[in-house]
Amino acid sequence: MCSSDLGANGTLTLDDALTGVASVGATGSATSGAITLLADGDVTVNASLETGTADTVDGDATSGLVSVTSSNGSVAMSAATVMTGDATVTGNGTATSGAITLTAERNVDSDALSTGVASAAEGDATSGAIDVVATSGNVTLTTVTSGDATVAGNGTATSGAITLTASGANGTLTLDDALTGVASVGATGSATSGAITLLADRKSTRLNSSH
């Protein structure tokens, strides 16, 4: 796991944080590392945050989550790409791709956010949700996409929900596209695609397109 925790008045600035691939060649559990950034002041990411893929034949495959928190400042990632890895079970098991959570007291500004594809031959597949909150400021995003969730045979497929909140009295929420992934089961089971929820207290949400 990549983790950074700074004390009072601390700020955090970095270019890239990447975690490695996790792979099991037969039966077992594969989990790629998470990325956690936490600062009292501003958090700035200039390039990318990306967690590795996770795969196994039978068992559990879980890709790492991304969590970025500014307790009293802003999250600034307008030039950055944030994504979690795919999770794949080629036999029977549970595949779960990592979620993305961005939280700031003031503003959240980011480029593309995407969670990985989750796929299993038999069993359960769940792609990561995306949750962005600006407690007293604005949320500005480009494209927000949760991954597809696919079970080839019998099982349960659920693609991640997207929830974007600018909860301050003067908060605004602006983005280009919000898309939740396809959920599909090839045989018997259930498939649920993720919901999209956009909340702005100032009621000035601008969404150019959503699917």
Q: Can you name the residues that pair with 166 across neighbouring β-strands?
A: 134, 200
Q: What is the pTM of this model?
A: 0.93
| 10 DSSP β-pair partners | none
| Segment 23-28 mean pLDDT | 98
- Please check whether residue 139 is in contact with residue 178, taking contact to mean a CB–CB distance below 8 angstroms: no
For residue 162, CA distances in Å to 29, 68, 70, 136, 149 come to 27, 16, 20, 20, 14
pLDDT surpassing 60 at residue 210: no
Average per-residue pLDDT in the chain?
A: 92
C-beta atoms surrounding 80 within 10 Å: 24
Q: What integer pLDDT is reported at residue 51 of this predicted model?
A: 98
Give the model confidence (pLDDT) of 57-74 as tens digits: 999 999 999 999 999 999
